[in-house]
């Protein structure tokens, strides 16, 4: 009888654990709980970036842009003085968002202060916002702290952003964290959206994107597919 009681308690514990395991944190990003803002990933802005290799930066931006397309994330692409100064967006963005007419070009360094940009971002009706851009200390800090001030929950993709020096980038990231922003990385963004490899509808696209832009992780996927006959 005592053994049966113990078994019953163990089964109850297992069932309870299973129930709780089905409730992921509300802090996690999902395909339907946020909007993405890509800020000024343009040639002129990238020329002065120091602290992240330009190839790595472009790959990270490719991961983010591709992920947003795979998971159909409401996305706003902004530029600053595109035709007169900063030039076109990275190919890793225009590949996934080829319609230049949807980009929002500005003169203000703070995207949040531009009427059209603010309307486009807030019009997505998402309380969570994910941002990345160039430069971190100017064009990213501005909208991040402004959105936080308006009550948004803001995530910053730090390795899809960059600045004129490592210190400028790092201090900007620290400032945003102190204001309440949450730092994440590009690959983390992709995998957090997938989160379950049983999600077959996005499985192949995610793996293909990772193999293309994911560096060593992508090579690992390619190796496994070949050597393990996956």
Give the separation between CA 22 and CA 39, rounded to whole angstroms.
35
- Give 3's Cβ-side CA count (13 Å radius): 0
Place of tokens 């159909």: 72
Concatenate the DSSP letters of all residues of 208-224 into one string.
HHHHHH-HHHHHHHHHH
Give the separation between CA 124 and CA 57, rounded to whole angstroms.
26
The structure tokens listed for 25 are: 């944190």
Q: What is the DSSP letter of 88?
A: P
Decide the pairing of beta strands 104-106 and 75-80: parallel
**Cα dist from 62 to 23, 124, 186, 212, whole Å:** 30, 22, 9, 9
- 8 A C-beta contact, residue 158 and residue 61: no
Backbone angles phi, psi at 44, to 5 degrees: -60, -35
Q: Is the peptide bond before 135 cis (omega within 30 degrees of 0)?
A: yes
Q: Which of 37, 139, 140, 154 is catalytic?
A: 139
Annotated catalytic, 161? no
Residues with catalytic roles:
139
């Amino acid at each position: 009888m005592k053994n049966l009681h113990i078994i019953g308690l163990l089964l109850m514990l297992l069932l309870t654990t299973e129930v709780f395991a089905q409730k992921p944190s509300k802090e996690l990003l999902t395909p339907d709980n946020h909007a993405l803002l890509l800020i000024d990933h343009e040639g002129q802005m990238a020329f002065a970036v120091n602290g992240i290799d330009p190839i790595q930066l472009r790959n990270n931006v490719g991961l983010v842009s591709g992920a947003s397309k795979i998971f159909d994330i409401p996305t706003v692409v902004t530029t600053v003085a595109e035709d007169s100064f900063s030039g076109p967006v990275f190919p890793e963005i225009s590949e996934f968002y080829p319609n230049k007419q949807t980009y929002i070009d500005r003169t203000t360094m703070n995207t949040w202060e531009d009427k059209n940009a603010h309307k486009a971002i807030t019009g997505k009706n998402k309380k969570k916002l994910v941002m990345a851009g160039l430069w971190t200390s100017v064009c990213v800090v501005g909208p991040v702290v402004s959105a936080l001030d308006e009550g948004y929950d803001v995530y910053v993709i730090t390795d899809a952003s960059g600045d004129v020096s490592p210190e400028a980038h790092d201090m900007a990231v620290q400032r945003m964290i102190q204001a309440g922003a949450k730092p994440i990385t590009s690959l983390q963004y992709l995998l957090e959206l997938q989160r379950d490899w049983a999600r077959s509808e996005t499985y192949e696209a995610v793996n293909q994107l990772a193999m293309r832009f994911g560096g060593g992780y992508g090579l690992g996927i390619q190796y496994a597919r070949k050597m393990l006959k996956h």
